[in-house]
Amino acid sequence: MRYAYAITGALLLSGTAATMIYQPQASAQTAQNEPGAIQAAAPKAGAPMSFADMVAKLQPAVVNISTKQTIVQPQQANPFQGTPFGDLFGGAQGGAPVKREGASLGSGFLISHDGYVVTNAHVISPGARGATVNSIAVTLSNNKEYVARVIGQDRESDLALLKIDATGLPFVRFGDSGGARVGDWVLAIGEPFGLGGTVTAGIISAINRVTGQGGAYDRFIQTDASINQGNSGGPMFDLNGNVIGVNSQIFSQSGGNIGIGFAIPAATAKPIIETFMKGGTISRGYLGVTLGGAIGDDQAAALGIAKNQGELIAGVEPSGPAAKAGLRAGDVVTKVNGVAVTPDSTLSYLVSNVKPGQTARLDVLRNGRPTTLSATVVARPAADKLAALVNGGSDDGGFGKDGDDDDSPAAITPATGNVLGLVVQPLTPGIARAVGVDAQTQGVVIAAVDPGSDAAQKLKRGDVVSAVNSTPVRTQAELTAAVNAAKAAGRPQVLLLVQRASPVKAFVPVKIK
């Protein structure tokens, strides 16, 4: 996924297209495209034959945003120090840090006559390691340039609000993105690759699109409009000229447009921008859990529940709201305050919209049985702190390398007869240190894997298994008993809560032999 640094165009708006009129089905057996069921008709009243008049009204409110940056990079040590060639490469330490100028280019749009400008947070952020943003400039369509100051920015939603000192400016308003439908025409104006005043058009390809970036705001309007680098921060307009999205990202394997672009819905952007205009800060709800992902086919088969309903909990912060409410690793949260958790309405998204201090009622499946928990959410930590919670190293699967404990596996029983093809042993503090997990972690560590098992494709020696289908396991006997219970219930596979390196945890579906 790539950011599109500029005001992005939105979608293909062609007034010559025929309008489809859908007739009711004659019966349940009638094909959707039965002859006569769909009839072409003239465009609806008000549909433009050209976008020229619309663009003439909207274009003055779209602006160019550029930054000037200073990038300081340390020089590498001189590999030829102490040789006759040492002086040719900057001296003993490779020379002083190198300072150079940098810049970024993006787009935005005016939302008030007195100079409030909306854009993406990444448009005004440092563009490289060691970079500092020195100034931000906003250039209007009439080429007048103003120095901008930042009123507010939010990395999580990728939104920012700027202010320039001017009055009597043209501006546009946010519209209702909730009424947008797949197939609706949209229009965008921006400056891709620094080309000023570029208008693009297309249709809405999808709504509530989850791009896999994670976080509370991974829900976008997808469009086939041409969106490229330099388009970030620009508006996506509907046919009435309302801003229904803020163009933000593109999916591309080459860096150029391939017809898959994404805009932040106005329903998400508008309340954040209004909060900034009032001088407020953004605060979101937080449970304190590590997510194990949505319920796919394998997870559903292992747990005996419907797929695409709910999300697995992989871990719970010991002192967080979830732990205080009684939530456990292996639980499946299916609803938050009565709203279903789905791939389109994720647990992160729903919880983030609960104000800190308020109670979130969680509908939970635990070992297949429904229960209800109440958690008082707290304020969501900053993005960098959240990132630190999911970063971890890797291990080589070895045991007993620290020399403090005799924790190497003794006689390894063949794994071929095991129900999963796994031989495990209790996790001791010494083994925990050797495989890179926290010493307080509880579970069993894999000592051997049957090469012919499904587990061999997914697990390795040194992986730590904490639970089987949310049942904690601490010995080989407990693991076997949990797997046998799932097998007796007719489950073709089980979900193992696996930890490879602190604090990374994941649910791994493994077929029962």
**DSSP annotation string for 89-119:** GTSTTS-SPEEEEEEEEEEEEE-STT-EEEE
3-state secondary structure 265-296: EHHHHHHHHHHHHCCCCCCCEECCEEEEEECC
483-512 pLDDT, tens digit per residue, is: 988 888 888 888 898 988 766 678 888 998
Q: Which amino acid is at 129?
A: R
- Give the per-residue pLDDT at 43: 62
81-115 pLDDT, tens digit per residue, is: 666 655 555 555 555 677 777 677 789 999 999 99
Q: Taking Cα atoms as reference points, which of 181, 227, 238, 175 lies closest to residue 200?
A: 227
| Active-site pick, 104, 157, 158, 450 | 158
DSSP 418: S
Contact 194, 20 (CB under 8 A): no
| Position 196 confidence tier, pLDDT thresholds 50, 70, 90 | confident
How many Cβ atoms sit within 10 Å of the Cβ of residue 85?
A: 11
Q: Taking Cα atoms as reference points, which of 390, 104, 102 lies closest to residue 232?
A: 104
354-402 pLDDT, tens digit per residue, is: 989 999 999 999 887 899 999 999 988 766 565 554 443 333 333 443 3
Cis amide linkage into residue 271, ω under 30° from 0: no
Contact 430, 400 (CB under 8 A): yes
Q: Strands 19-22 and 38-41, how do they pair?
A: antiparallel
Query: Annotated catalytic, 87?
Result: no
What predicted TM-score, i.e. pTM, was given to this entire model? 0.67
Q: Taking Cα atoms as reference points, which of 49, 4, 1, 2 lies closest to residue 236?
A: 4
Query: Annotated catalytic, 384?
Result: no
Distance CA 57, CA 61 (A): 8
Query: Annotated catalytic, 158?
Result: yes
37-46 in b/e form (b: 16+ CB < 10 A) is eeeeeeeeee
Q: CB within 8 A of 214, min separation 6: which ones?
A: 348
- Return the biggest CA–CA distance within the chain: 91
- Tell whether the torsion through CA atoms of 284, 287, 293 and 297 is positive or negative: negative
> Which has the higher per-residue pLDDT, 299 or 399?
299
Give the lowest-confidence range in 244-248, 373-377, 467-471: 467-471
Distance CA 146, CA 148 (A): 6
Distance CA 396, CA 202 (A): 50
**Six token digits for residue 174:** 């946010």
Contact 237, 46 (CB under 8 A): no
| Active-site pick, 232, 248, 252, 453 | 232
**Six token digits for residue 371:** 């229960």
- Give the per-residue pLDDT at 243: 94
Cis amide linkage into residue 503, ω under 30° from 0: yes
| Position 41 confidence tier, pLDDT thresholds 50, 70, 90 | low
Contact 141, 197 (CB under 8 A): yes
Distance CA 246, CA 7 (A): 8
| Active-site pick, 107, 122, 248, 298 | 122
